[in-house]
């Protein structure tokens, strides 16, 4: 919620959007926004075969999360990927325990806080947990994992970086303390049916420019029935991996030079991508009926 906004004000705002888009809140109740999600992970080669990224998707709560364990812990013999995996697993459990209630900023902050308290592994990580709340996608974010909302061939929203300085993101820890959970930032952006949300660890966002992401999603949309979220996620993860394997110019390279650090090409890193295609419950029902009436090969 914004400063000075009450829970009732936020609910009224959601209802007004429902009326504007669907004619009435009664009609909207039958056509709530839903996320059709897919994911892909590509760990970089190294001492930790599973990599240091982690994620979850929850169809039940129209939610997803991404965490990127801080690789510097390897110098102390710690696999921060284990911390990230525990954190994301606990986030999913805690979020689904909230039932069908609204996913407001404070609710997501409480989910992350409870999940962090239950994470026993050593290490620290970034974390981004997002969920649909009426017409909004709300998120709680710590660090440089994040998401982009695509509307057609344009970027409608991009979550801001949350870092101390270049390449030093805020990070949370359980056994190993880091950024206090109170420093996590609450984000919100309006969604529309047809939008595509692309979320990723910095292995995606540091290695692909926004235009690269737009073009890859557009290309997959043009295939078959519009490309599944899983297909989009795999294509994006493969492109990010290819970018650092071949030394392509990248957002990380540009940011390095802006910070007066000598660097060219991309950044070798684990790559995790979650893609969420925004549709409505009625649309999903229609697709379900269509699939039941078809033949499987």
CATH number at 98 reads 3.60.40.10
In a domain, 288, yes or no: no
In a domain, 71, yes or no: yes
In a domain, 227, yes or no: yes
pLDDT of residue 48: 86
- 3-class SS of residue 33: strand
In a domain, 294, yes or no: no
In a domain, 21, yes or no: no
Burial grade of 207 (CB within 10 A; 0-12, 13-18, 19 or more)? buried
Q: Tokens in use for 112?
A: 């992350």
Close Cβ partners of 223 (under 8 Å, ≥ 6 residues apart):
231
pLDDT of residue 31: 63
* Residue 258: domain span: 32-281
pLDDT in tens for each of the 297 residues of the chain? 333 333 344 444 444 544 454 444 444 444 689 999 999 999 998 878 999 999 999 999 999 999 999 999 999 999 999 999 999 999 999 999 998 899 999 999 999 999 999 999 999 999 999 999 999 999 999 999 999 999 999 999 999 999 999 889 999 999 998 999 999 999 999 999 999 999 999 999 999 999 999 999 999 999 877 799 999 999 999 999 999 999 999 999 999 999 999 888 899 999 999 999 999 975 443 333 333 333 333
In a domain, 23, yes or no: no
Domain count, the chain: 1
Close Cβ partners of 19 (under 8 Å, ≥ 6 residues apart):
25, 28
In a domain, 25, yes or no: no
pLDDT of residue 126: 97
Q: What distance in Å separates the CA atoms of residue 184 and residue 140, rounded to the nearest whole number? A: 6
In a domain, 188, yes or no: yes
Q: What is the pTM of this model?
A: 0.85
């Amino acid at each position: 919620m914004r400063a000075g906004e009450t829970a009732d004000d936020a609910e009224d705002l959601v209802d007004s959007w429902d009326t504007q888009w669907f004619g009435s809140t009664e009609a909207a109740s039958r056509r709530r926004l839903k996320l059709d999600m897919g994911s892909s992970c590509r760990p970089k080669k190294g001492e930790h075969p599973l990599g240091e990224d982690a994620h979850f998707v929850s169809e039940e709560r129209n939610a997803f999360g991404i965490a990127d364990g801080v690789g510097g812990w390897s110098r102390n013999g710690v696999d921060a990927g284990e911390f990230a995996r525990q954190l994301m697993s606990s986030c999913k459990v805690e979020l689904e325990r909230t039932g069908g209630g609204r996913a407001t900023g404070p609710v997501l902050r409480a989910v992350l806080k409870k999940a962090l308290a239950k994470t026993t592994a050593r290490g620290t990580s970034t974390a981004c947990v997002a969920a649909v709340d009426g017409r909004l996608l709300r998120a709680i974010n710590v660090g440089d994992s994040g998401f982009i909302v695509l509307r057609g061939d344009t970027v409608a929203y991009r979550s801001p970086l949350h870092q101390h300085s270049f390449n030093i993101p805020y990070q949370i820890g359980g056994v190993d303390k880091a950024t206090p959970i109170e420093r996590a930032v609450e984000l919100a952006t309006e969604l529309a049916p047809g939008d595509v949300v692309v979320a990723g660890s910095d292995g995606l966002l540091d290695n692909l420019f926004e235009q690269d992401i737009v073009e890859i999603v557009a290309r997959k949309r043009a295939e078959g029935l519009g490309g599944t979220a899983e297909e989009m996620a795999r294509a994006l993860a493969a492109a990010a991996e290819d970018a650092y394997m071949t030394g392509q110019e990248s957002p990380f390279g540009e940011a390095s030079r802006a910070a007066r650090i000598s660097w060219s090409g991309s950044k070798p890193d684990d790559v995790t991508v979650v893609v969420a295609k925004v549709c409505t419950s009625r649309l999903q029902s229609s697709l379900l009926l269509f699939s039941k009436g078809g033949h499987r090969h």
